[in-house]
Amino acid sequence: MNASVRAVTRAAIHKGWTVKGICRGFQGLIEDEVVDLTTESVSNTIQRGGTFLKSARSKEFRTPEGRQKAYETFTRHGMDALIVIGGNGSLAGAQDFAKDFDVPCIGIPGTIDNDLYGTDTTIGYDTALNTIVDCVDKIRDTATSHDRIFFVEVMGRDAGFLAQNSAIAAGAEAAIIPEDSTDVDQLAEFIGRGIRKSKNSSIVLVSESPQDGKGAQYYADRVTREYPGYDVRVSILGHLQRGGRPTAYDRILASRLGVASIEALDEGQRNIMVGIDDDHIVYVPFSRAIKMDKPIDPELINVLGVLSI
């Protein structure tokens, strides 16, 4: 996120524009937490995790009254466009704000979940993926030494990109992802493949699934109950996945999207998210980025299945 704030700031200054930073997202816009951003104020930030502007989830912004207060701050500071960095909730907020007050808004996809339609990837996803792979490499030492099955739960809020791709990258035996769960019992399938016949240990990546509550513990409990004899452990990686130095890939992505957001504004674009498609910058209307489901490529599911025998 810092890399994209830096890019937005410097690209705008390059055009001779003035930039304000809003602390704590939409809540900060409601509460008038606005700072000047200069070339110097974004120095020494590209390598830092988190966001130096701070972030917050704002229930108030979901109400017309909250957005009205935010608009008052917006006009008080003489702002004429808004760039919002975030996931589904943030872009939905930007869409509402744009609709209510006819303000040009540009979105930058920033979420470790990678679940925004219209962009191949989102800022933070690659860093989180690498963190997970690093953790699973370490967990594997215990799994193999003790002949255990580990269910490792990763973030994704009902999106399986982190689980599926970290499973491939870490050489795990399976991934249990929400996108697949409607028509297959992924656990039965995994056990049915006779995992124990060829290997003494297994690692299964499980995507957190707040909607149905079926996380790593749920599958570990099922194995203990339905398939006795396995030595099962659970590891929930949690907020480890949201911190740390961003990868080079994420820094470049954030820099490109930050510059693209300013170019988009300069071209008169509004109410779109800038994204990456086949390594090219694209503009995706908010309505599509937010509403459409981004599917997991079945090829990835096949690759894991083929390689985990």
Contact pattern for ligand F6P over residues 196 through 215, marking x by CB under 6 A:
------------x-------
Closer residue to ligand F6P, CB minimum distance, 194 or 238: 238
Residue 163, helix vs strand vs coil: helix
Place of tokens 């939409």: 26
Residue 108, helix vs strand vs coil: strand
The distance of closest approach from Cβ of residue 237 to ligand F6P in the complex, given in angstroms and rounded to an integer, is 11
Does 86 bind ligand F6P (CB under 6 A)? Our answer is no
φ, ψ dihedrals at 222, nearest 5°: -65, -45
Q: Give me the catalytic one of 36, 100, 113, 250.
A: 113
The distance of closest approach from Cβ of residue 211 to ligand F6P in the complex, given in angstroms and rounded to an integer, is 11
Does 153 bind ligand F6P (CB under 6 A)? Our answer is no
Closer residue to ligand F6P, CB minimum distance, 57 or 146: 57
**DSSP letters for 19-54:** EEEETTHHHHHHTT-EEEE-TTTTTT-TT-SS-TT-
Closer residue to ligand F6P, CB minimum distance, 9 or 90: 90
The distance of closest approach from Cβ of residue 159 to ligand F6P in the complex, given in angstroms and rounded to an integer, is 8
Closer residue to ligand F6P, CB minimum distance, 62 or 157: 157
Residue of the chain from 69, 157, 193, 270 that contacts ligand F6P (CB under 6 A): 157
Residue of the chain from 28, 109, 110, 156 that contacts ligand F6P (CB under 6 A): 156
**Buried (b) or exposed (e) across 9-44, using 16+ Cβ within 10 A?**
bbbbbeeeeebebbbbbbbbbbbebbeebeeebbee
The distance of closest approach from Cβ of residue 298 to ligand F6P in the complex, given in angstroms and rounded to an integer, is 23
Burial class (CB in 10 A: 0-12, 13-18, 19+), 83: buried
Contact pattern for ligand F6P over residues 230 through 269, marking x by CB under 6 A:
------------x---------------------------
Contact pattern for ligand F6P over residues 88 through 127, marking x by CB under 6 A:
-----------------------xxx--------------
Please compute Rg for the chain using Cα positions: 21
Q: Which amino acid is at 34?
A: V
Does 155 bind ligand F6P (CB under 6 A)? Our answer is yes
Contact pattern for ligand F6P over residues 44 through 73, marking x by CB under 6 A:
------------------------------
The distance of closest approach from Cβ of residue 158 to ligand F6P in the complex, given in angstroms and rounded to an integer, is 9
Closer residue to ligand F6P, CB minimum distance, 157 or 193: 157
Burial class (CB in 10 A: 0-12, 13-18, 19+), 262: buried
What are the start-end ranges of the H helices in 173-237?
186-192, 195-198, 216-226
Closer residue to ligand F6P, CB minimum distance, 21 or 87: 87
Please, what is the Cα angle at 279 between 130 and 16, to 5 degrees?
100
Residue 106, helix vs strand vs coil: strand
Contact call for residues 20 and 51 (beta carbons, < 8 A) = no
Closer residue to ligand F6P, CB minimum distance, 113 or 180: 113
Q: Which two tokens stand for residue 187?
A: 């656990």
Instruction: Note if 141 is an active site residue.
Output: no
Q: Which residues bind ligand F6P (CB under 6 A)?
A: 87, 111-113, 155-157, 208, 242
Catalytic residues: 113
